[in-house]
A and B are shown apart, each in its own frame.
Chain A
Amino acid sequence: MPATFHDELRRIVGPAHVLTGIECGPYVIEGRTPEAVVAPGSKEDVAAVLVAAGEASVPVTPWGGGTTMAVGSPPSRLGLVLLLGRLNRLVEHEPGDLTATVEGGMTVQALQEALGRRGQWLSLDPPHAAKATIGGTLSANVAGPRRHLYGGCRDLLIGLTVVTADGAIVKGGGKVVKNVAGYDLPKLFIGAFGTLGVIVEATLKLRPRPDADRVVVARFERLKDAGVAARTVMASDLLPSALDLIDGEAVRALGLGGADGAALLVGVDGMADQVDWQCREIERLLEPVGLREARVLDGAERDRLWHARGTVGREAFAETAATMRWVLLPSQVADCMEQGAAVAQRAGLRAATAAHAGVGIVEAALGGGEHADLERVAAVLSEWRALVRGAGGHAVIQWAPLAVKERVPVWDEAGPALRIMERIKAQLDPRGVLNPGRAAGGI
């Protein structure tokens, strides 16, 4: 990285917003230290930084709250880390329109607090909300338990402004909830891990805050029973906002009890009398399928549980060896969780799994202390992937030491659609400046 490039960065964003050398320590990714870190204060400055980086042939890694930096393949070269934290304003919130426009670097929690003061919320509940930014949440396509009823990023994002690799400020979608003018470019940047452009502004659909919001913690002897319970709820008239299936190890990690049995966390929100009715109805429906105990949590207890649920993957064990995300059909979730645990056990390790059962997404964590050597961890992850693929899904490593990632591919096979993805990447970032090698298919 030429010294003149550092000078150019300082000229664009001001010397206080460029970090070099030892100051880059907090932004190490997979053991690699960036050559520089820059924090622009406006989308125009983001554009100028990308132009300068392009001219100097320095790859750029956008960085929001840093909560998903471990996801994906390690960067082939860590050049410039582009911090979005200064782009943290709520640009526009018109409650009557149920929409908000927000800068990419605003944290989810700060946004929720601002919206909450006016009786609304963004129905996305990603983990680490205090750190996770809107841009990062979209880029990594993160959601939480409430995706069950309210949908994920692609259902809530209606407009996006990105800066592309050539420094162009490009907008797609708009500020209205219904819009079919032109291509739906915002969809392209969801889950793209910053490989197509830097998200500087997003417009999102909002919801009114519910009058009541609770979670029913339903305990079962066996995971199998809890799985049947999840399917019973799905096939009923109930409209829960969350339906999370939790195995024994994850129950223990959540502080809900010992590592035997399993739990179903059923979120219900809305008008108070409806919430009351749903809580009663859940117990009535689950009684015949082996419900052992049901507790209804509200207020701080509820918040604590959902918070812990968000981070249960990495924090499942004192020394979690790796975490993986399985995407499955809802009907396969409980079976795969059971079989996955058996795979880990055969290798002398332990698994903790927690699922958004109705959406079909499982977080699987692997632990096992001194038995968790590289080879065993890699072997279990590979077996898990085969298991998930066999059930018609796919599996992605969420977090693992670099040495494990070198043995097991982070991403599942991309398939023939990769050809189109590569061509889109070539159109929007022809020199491959943005986060090269990070996303699925090595894009």
Chain B
Amino acid sequence: MSSLDPGRKAGLRRELEGLLGKGAVLSDPEELLVYESDGLTLFQALADFVVFPTSVEQVSAVVRLANRESLPFVARGAGTGLSGGCLPAEGGLVISLMRMNRVLEVDYENQLAVVEPGLVNLHLSWAVGPKGFYYAPDPSSQQACTIGGNIANNSGGPHTLKYGVTVNHVLGLEVVLPDGEIIWLGGRTRESQGYDLTGLFVGSEGTFGIATKIIVRILRRPQAVKTVLAVFDAVEAASESVSAVIGRGLVPAAMEMIDQLTIQAVEDAFGCGYPRDAAAALLIELDGLREGMEAQAERVMAACRENGAREVRAARDETERQLLWKGRKSAFGAYGRISPAYMVMDGVIPRTRLPEVLRRVNEIVGAHELRVGNVFHAGDGNLHPNILYDPRRPGEVARVVTAGGEILKVCADVGGSISGEHGIGLEKMDYMPLIFTEADLHAMRGVRDAWNPRGLCNPGKIFPSRKACGEASIAYRPHPIEAQGLAQRF
């Protein structure tokens, strides 16, 4: 959907190379193809250019150039997003931050780190690990996703139950505004003056500007960790155990649920020690002081037993603990072995509504003659139904999309949200009216216009589209690198 004539494009390429150097600008269609999707390959959009700046000045220069040329632009990290949020929906420039990936400074005494946006999430924990620290937000893609991408999406992860999501760990941001100006929001201290622009920026899905330096809190690693596996013959019993644990005054670090289909896929693939005939399993992790840890684990296990767990056990050692977590974290890879494709859904409900909502999800998917695997953050009520399908069967993709919409409606109807961590992006913009009124959306548009008055910074996202479905293609085709067997989605 390139809108640039060849002459103008060649001129712009020369100019971009002048700003960033040769080797930092892509404009050939084959090269651009790699950047046409994120982790959600349902959508594709081609950029005119993909550029790789290495400094804030370069990012600012590219953004000023885009403004002069009235070209849209969007920042991109590792491209592991799951809502199409970093796609160049209206063409223009993709600004990859992958070459800005350094840890600039760590202040252990004040428990903070200054990093660049292209730094891989897990690499920050590696960097501060030797001194006993870590970075708490741990999205499932943390081996690949970047801190900058986490800022855009306000990413979560299993341990957000106790430690909160990305925004709870961000103190300050150096930002290139949509007009190219470089400013700081917040800083190193816990508060800044005036409106909480840092808090507002996190989760704005790249529509308020581009973060080029990020100050995050790092936490001391807890003294003790205890991981409990509870096995159930009924999903309802597992759901009720979640509320029972909370009801006993415990706030585990993580509380994850894995259903039967997922357990079987994981066991076939990796053999992590989950019983294949279980209807559901809960993986519950406690952390904190060593003192009292056993007593807390006892409380958790008692709550599960009283709510019908047929087996409850604590991981005996670190190896067993890692194996249990491997089962949870490799679930997406395991689906790939039992289904040619799957759609990762993301919705949130009040956790007390888990039993009825899970039942409804299964009914909806069944009615569309599809299969669903559930592996999710039960403690937060953050569902991830993964609908398995075969894109080669005619009409199946459309049924997946319909079923997905119906599931989001159920989440909205019980007082929940249509996204807990993946964002709205392209995928869910037309579902926004399920939970927001026109007045709510009007206020959000006003706030966006305050940051991004020309609308060049990541246009065509978040807000319901006027043109239904837009130009984004809904037909699935494998991502090129997927087709070549170079990568799989997770």
A interface residue numbers (CB < 8 A to B): 94-99, 119, 141, 151-152, 154-155, 164, 168-172, 174-185, 187-188, 190-192, 196, 207-211, 231, 234-235, 237, 239, 270-271, 273-274, 277-278, 327-331, 359-361, 392-394, 396, 411-412, 414-421, 423-424, 426-428, 439-441, 443
Q: Are A174 and B435 in contact (CB under 8 A)?
A: yes
B243 at the interface (CB under 8 A from A): yes
Stretch at the interface among B32-40, B160-168, B361-369: B160-168
Q: List 9 A-B contacts (CB under 8 A).
A: A152-B191, A175-B415, A178-B160, A182-B424, A211-B249, A329-B189, A360-B190, A420-B450, A423-B449
Contact of B154 among A164, A180, A235, A273 (CB under 8 A): A180
Q: Are A178 and B184 in contact (CB under 8 A)?
A: no
Contact with A along B386-423 (1 / 0, CB 8 A): 00000000000000000000000000000111111111
How many Å from the CB of A83 to the closest CB on chain B? 24
Q: Given A181-B428, A271-B295, are A427 and B189 neighbors across the interface (CB < 8 Å)?
A: no
Contacts of A441 in B (CB 8 A): 193-194
Give the complex CA separation of A46 and B38 in angstroms. Answer: 44
Q: Are B190 and A327 in contact (CB under 8 A)?
A: yes
Q: Given A119-B249, A271-B295, are A183 and B381 neighbors across the interface (CB < 8 Å)?
A: no
List 14 additional contacts besides A207-B251, A420-B183; criterion CB under 8 Å.
A96-B243, A155-B168, A164-B443, A168-B439, A171-B437, A176-B381, A178-B421, A184-B154, A188-B447, A209-B249, A273-B292, A360-B110, A411-B193, A420-B177
Instruction: Look across to chain B and name the residue whose beta carbon is closest to the beta carbon of A329.
Output: B110
Give the complex CA separation of A414 and B192 in angstroms. Answer: 9
How many Å from the CB of B148 to the closest CB on chain A? 16
Q: Given A170-B440, A188-B200, A239-B288, are A361 and B191 neighbors across the interface (CB < 8 Å)?
A: yes
Stretch at the interface among B310-318, B346-354, B465-473: B346-354
Contact with A along B243-280 (1 / 0, CB 8 A): 10011111100000000000000000000000000000
Contacts of B352 in A (CB 8 A): 94, 96-97
Contacts of A154 in B (CB 8 A): 167-168, 196, 199
**What's the A-B contact tally at a CB cutoff of 8 Å?**
253
Q: Are B194 and A417 in contact (CB under 8 A)?
A: yes
Give the complex CA separation of A239 and B291 in angstroms. Answer: 12
Considering residues A176, A270, A271, which has the most beta carbons from chain B within 10 angstroms of its beta carbon?
A: A176
Counting chain B residues whose Cβ lies within 8 A of the other chain, the interface size class is 35 or more
Instruction: Look across to chain B and name the residue whose beta carbon is closest to the beta carbon of A192.
Output: B195
How many Å from the CB of A183 to the closest CB on chain B? 5
B interface residue numbers (CB < 8 A to A): 107, 109-111, 153-154, 156, 160, 164-165, 167-168, 177, 181, 183-185, 187-197, 199-200, 202-204, 220, 222-223, 243, 246-251, 288-289, 291-292, 295-296, 348-352, 377, 380-382, 415-424, 428, 432, 435-437, 439-444, 446-451, 453, 462
Give the complex CA separation of A328 and B187 in angstroms. Answer: 11
Q: Are B423 and A180 in contact (CB under 8 A)?
A: yes
Q: Are B419 and A151 in contact (CB under 8 A)?
A: no
Q: Are B435 and A423 in contact (CB under 8 A)?
A: no
Contacts of B247 in A (CB 8 A): 95-96
Give the complex CA separation of A360 and B188 in angstroms. Answer: 10
Q: Are B196 and A191 in contact (CB under 8 A)?
A: yes
Give the complex CA separation of A392 and B439 in angstroms. Answer: 40
Q: Given A175-B350, A182-B436, A424-B450, are A208 and B249 neighbors across the interface (CB < 8 Å)?
A: yes
Q: Given A119-B249, A329-B110, are A176 and B348 neighbors across the interface (CB < 8 Å)?
A: yes
Q: Are A439 and B350 in contact (CB under 8 A)?
A: no
Q: Are B428 and A237 in contact (CB under 8 A)?
A: no
Give the complex CA separation of A369 and B419 in angstroms. Answer: 58
Give the complex CA separation of A327 and B194 in angstroms. Answer: 13
Q: Given A94-B350, A185-B444, A277-B292, are A151 and B168 neighbors across the interface (CB < 8 Å)?
A: yes
Q: Are A417 and B420 in contact (CB under 8 A)?
A: no
Contacts of A164 in B (CB 8 A): 443
Q: Are B421 and A170 in contact (CB under 8 A)?
A: no
Contacts of B289 in A (CB 8 A): 237, 239, 274, 277-278
Q: Are A179 and B109 in contact (CB under 8 A)?
A: no
Q: Are B246 and A96 in contact (CB under 8 A)?
A: yes
Contact of B203 among A119, A169, A183 (CB under 8 A): A183
How many Å from the CB of A103 to the closest CB on chain B? 17
Contact of B443 among A151, A176, A180, A185 (CB under 8 A): A185
Q: Report the 8 A-B pairs with minimum CB-CB distance, sorted nearest first.
A: A187-B199, A208-B249, A427-B446, A423-B450, A440-B194, A274-B292, A277-B291, A96-B352
